[in-house]
Amino acid sequence: MTSVPVERLWYVAYGSNLSASRFRHYLRGGRPPGSRRTYPGCRDRRDPERIAALVIPGRLYFTGSSSTWGGGTAVLDPSGPGRVPAMAYLIRPGQLADVLAQEMRREPGTDLDLPELARAGHLRLGPGRYETVVRLGSLAGIPLLTLTTQRCDEAPLNRPSAAYLSTMAAGLRQGHGWDPGRIRSYLATIPGGGGTGPA
């Protein structure tokens, strides 16, 4: 049977890339506010064709130690209990391959078999925090893909930096329309967050 080409894919973000302006640095390159890292950007620097706010199943943890932000970052356990607010960005497969490369601290420019991945539903590209690609279903008939780790529930918890939490808060405010109280309450429930968060 001949595979049908996949021309667009949704990249699903649940951490700092809840902020669309932050995510665009993965596409265009540059250094986002609050970040210590300058991104090379994608070969194709066009904006997402669509952006959608959605809620996905699972649970977040703040874990690891980020040289980009200082402190922990959000990682999704798709099988965990709960619901997680997210943003989905409709981009081309080449763009998504370059976004994934930058998330994994690799040089962009190498295509992945993302259409096959979208059909298979799961691919471990490495052992790191953002090196396992998971399909979360579909939206408008187009696969939803996100990055996580193999066993985030076993990772040591670590509180994020204020800049990281502020970027998440901006995404929740702009993308989901949440008020400051709801944002603070949500961030406080994430394991590793220390029970507080800016809004």
Does 173 have pLDDT greater than 80?
yes
Q: What is the pLDDT of residues 53-80, one digit of tens each?
A: 999 999 999 998 888 888 999 999 998 8
- In angstroms, the CA 175 to CA 36 distance is 24
- In angstroms, the CA 174 to CA 68 distance is 23
pTM of the model: 0.89
Domain ranges of the chain: 9-187
* Superfamily for domain range 9-187: Gamma-glutamyl cyclotransferase-like (3.10.490.10)
- Tokens 């667009």 correspond to 8
Backbone angles phi, psi at 68, to 5 degrees: -75, -45
pLDDT for residue 128: 61
